[in-house]
Structure 1
Amino acid sequence: MKLNRIAPFGAAVAFALAGVLATPATAQDDAGSSNWTGPYIGGSLGYNWQPNNTANDIEQVYFDTNGDGQYGDIVRTPAGGNAFAPGFCNGKATSATTCSRGDREGKAAWSVMAGYDRQFGNIVVGGVIEGGQSYGSNYVSGFSTTPASYTLVRRLDWEAAARLRAGYSLNRTLIYATGGLAYGKFKNSFLTTNTANAFAENNRTEDDWGYTVGGGIDQKISDNFSIGLLYRYTRFNPNDYSVTVTQGSAPATNPFVNPASTSGQTVIGRSNEQYTTQSVRVTAAYRF
């Protein structure tokens, strides 16, 4: 994780949150002190996107042609050339020869949560568990000399997190940092314009554990109800999905199965196992 890229964004979000919530906090100073100790339930709704980073920009489809379980092999034409000389892109193929270029979708996200806070003077510490859905997908494509396109699609279907948080109470306003364990359930799929070979997908659904960090501001608008804004950075490393290519109706000299350069089949994977997201969400909670 490149903290030098994340930190400025997080700081900008924090200042923005402070500006949005400072007025309600000031207006309610006369309402008396507020204690954040106790359990709460609530939810969040917001926007999820994938960050612009080097790992995503250089991602490509990669191959295991000799069956040794190691990727990075070159798929060879019968003449010995590179069957994927046209190249790769970190996006969705729009035809057998072109790509959408760029792969940083932004989508809606929601979650439900339950937590507990305890206040010590102005310091508030606590924990929260949450779960919900994020609707983003990412793509990586390769293009062969045939020509044909091959696209691996990865979508984060469900996610959950168990986070600790620690913050500073300004009466009815709480500014906090948070971080913890994240869980993601992914759905994978494969798209190709190649109608000759046969393709078998492995581990279309996979689970992965990762981490999440962030920060936010909560504002009490009554003794039992709070609203807020939350920024989170989350990273997973799902890497179980692959596609096995066999002969199908293609000739025996097909680059994916040619016995002169393969083990009789080729396994397709993706070079970047990272799946990272950033999100900004509005939160609401009922406090007991």
Structure 2
Amino acid sequence: MATIHPTAIVDPAAQLDASVTVGPYAVIGPHVCIGAGSTVGPHTVIEGRTTIGRDNRIFQFASIGAISQDMSYGGEPTRLEIGDRNTIREFCTLNLGTMKEEGVTRIGSDNWIMAYVHVAHDVRLGSHTVLANNATLAGHVHVGDWAVIGGLSGVHQFVHIGAHAMIGFQGHVAQDVPPFMTVDGNPLTVRAVNLTGIRRRGFSDERIAVIRRMHKLLYRDSLPLDQAVAALGALRGTQPEADTDIEVMLAFLAGAKRGIVR
């Protein structure tokens, strides 16, 4: 049996692996499933149709799986899915999805989610991301793998943030942020390539050179966006190990919903 503090309230229908630990005064609802090795801190509430994977650490006072704050939500059986090895700190709020998309809010694995972070309905949060204190993701936001969102930043609904991007402190993010870029300020401005981040992840000098070239085409050469995209495509094959990075950028730009920060 899971290790459950005697003051916690766990619905008998909830599915908890035998290695799960639940702290004092936590509340876990009937449609919750929690995988091996995960810990639930004191006073945490986990409700709704929420699935949590292995080895997650959920700290005290978090609210996981509450209904969305979308006024059109009508009680549909939507879901929250959380992957493995995530750290979710104090007072975070992670909401169920709505029927406006797939009916699911989805969080990947190995994310570092700091205190007071809000993840709204239908968000797609990738893996290996960092969300600093008080970062707020509105509904339908998509965040790519390895992205970093600075403290007190707000991300407008439907915005996409690309893989390896970094949002600076107190960012006001109302347009899509392309992969590999560092942005900050209000209004938001692309400052440079996220060199520190991609170097930490082992990107070679050759890959970094191509990423810097992509930044120059998008932000320094004064090209209209369609011409910049064509020039990005022409980089294919110039450094074969960077072709995947080029495709990541092109796919992001093709799917941009709110226009890119530029």
Sort the TM-score into its range (normalised by shorter chain): under 0.3
Q: TM-score, normalised by structure 2?
A: 0.23
Between structures 1 and 2, the one with greater strand share: 1
Q: TM-score, normalised by structure 1?
A: 0.21
Question: Whose relative contact order is higher, 1 or 2, with alpha carbons under 8 Å and at least 6 apart?
Answer: 1
Between structures 1 and 2, the one with greater helix share: 2
Structure with the greater alpha carbon radius of gyration? 1
